[in-house]
Amino acid sequence: MSEEAEATEVGGEAGRGLDPAAMAIALGSASREEADAFLKDQRKLVQLQARELSHELGLRHWSLRVRHLSSLLKLALEVSVAILALALVCAAGVMVWNAAHSDGLVIESFSVPPDMAARGLSGQVIASQLLDRFSYLQAQSNDIRTQSSFANDWSDDLKVEIPETGVSLGEFNRYLRRWLGHETHISGEVVRLDGGTIEVTARVNAAAGKSFSGSEGDFHALLAKAAEAIYADTQPISYISVLQRQGRLREVETVARASIMTGPASERAWAYSSLSRVFLSRNQTTQSIRAGRAAVALNPGFAYGWYQLAFALRTGGFLQASLDAARKSLSLQPKASDLSPVAMLQGLAAGNGIVAEALGDFDQQIAQAVALYPMIDFSADPAA
């Protein structure tokens, strides 16, 4: 409202209720003194009315400012609530996505006798020891294959789960992982049997447990056996690698045959190649070649399988077939995402060596052998 408009309004308010005709008659009949006193009273009345109107206008302006500020605060609150709701929705979405893509290993706290828990062997301690054993087995597997190529790979996500009481965000997240994810859960218990023996049982998800019994002094050995049994069931190809490194070829054959019967196609191809190596170590060349052919039949793009077949064919005297298989392996290795860098370099050297031998290029064969086994002096006279 402008100052002129305000003044007009004030003047209007101040003069409201006065009759001009009556005021003129009164002033005409009154004496000079009475007229001055009357005008003075009227001036005071107008001044009072002006002050009241000015105060009222001030209050009205203050009320408008307060109302405007209140609207701004309400808008800010609504925006804050909207941002908070969006953040909660995003957080829930991330939590659901992570739960749906969780595929690691979770070891739950074991059930143990009270006296063992009192001595420090609580369920959480046993779960941690089992985790240590799995980590050791992972470290013992060779570096031929990349961990991400395993059908059930939890090499980068091993953890012990500590139970919680009540409802919490952690408990809700655990429920989502169980519902939507693909985690491998290991649980178990330790019980006392008659005669002073104990039994250690470990199980994967809801499957039947693996039990091992013995004296309490053999507890750690029993736990190691349970860990190996679980590892053989969940990571058979990695376990085969551990067994090969330890020279336990009979167990390699057992685990490989079990994986061939129950594993996915990619794992069965690796199991057949492992079986081919076992047969070759026993000089069972025909069986080795047959297992090698089964591996590449399951997975024609299996670079390591073609190399293993080439090696078996060369041992069996099938040089042309060995040459073809080695060349096939060499052509596939640059695109082999399941081979580690070390294995790829070794495979290239071994494959080139087989090709050089088949072509009679013995200098090239020696060069490739030197690349494959740098610690051996191939120039030395074997008769010396």
- Check if 103-231 and 282-384 are the same fold: no
Domain ranges of the chain: 3-95, 103-231, 282-384
DSSP code of residue 263: S
Which pLDDT does position 287 carry in this prediction?
A: 95
Calculate mean pLDDT across residues 348-370.
Answer: 58
CA 302 to CA 343: how far, in whole Å? Answer: 13
Residue 362 reports pLDDT greater than 80: no
Residue 17 φ/ψ, nearest 5 degrees: 95, -5
Total-model pTM: 0.58
CATH 3.40.50 fits 103-231, yes or no: yes
323: which residues sit within 8 A by CB, 6+ positions away?
310, 354, 355, 358, 359
**How many percent of the chain have pLDDT more than 70?**
65
47: which residues sit within 8 A by CB, 6+ positions away?
none
DSSP code of residue 334: G
Q: What is the pLDDT of residues 51-80, one digit of tens each?
A: 888 888 888 888 888 888 888 889 899 999
| More reliable by pLDDT, 264 or 381 | 264
Residues in the chain: 384
CA 152 to CA 49: how far, in whole Å? Answer: 90
248 contacts 232 by C-beta, under 8 angstroms? no
CA 151 to CA 358: how far, in whole Å? Answer: 36
CA 290 to CA 309: how far, in whole Å? Answer: 9
- The per-residue pLDDT of the chain, averaged, comes to 75
Helix (H) or strand (E) holding 187, with range, is: strand 184-192
Q: What is the pLDDT of residues 212-248, one digit of tens each?
A: 999 988 999 999 999 999 888 888 888 888 888 888 8
Residue 152: both structure tokens together = 């059930």
* Domain range 282-384, CATH class: mainly alpha
337 contacts 315 by C-beta, under 8 angstroms? no
CA 53 to CA 47: how far, in whole Å? Answer: 10
DSSP code of residue 122: -
User: pLDDT tier at 349 (50, 70, 90 boundaries)?
Assistant: low
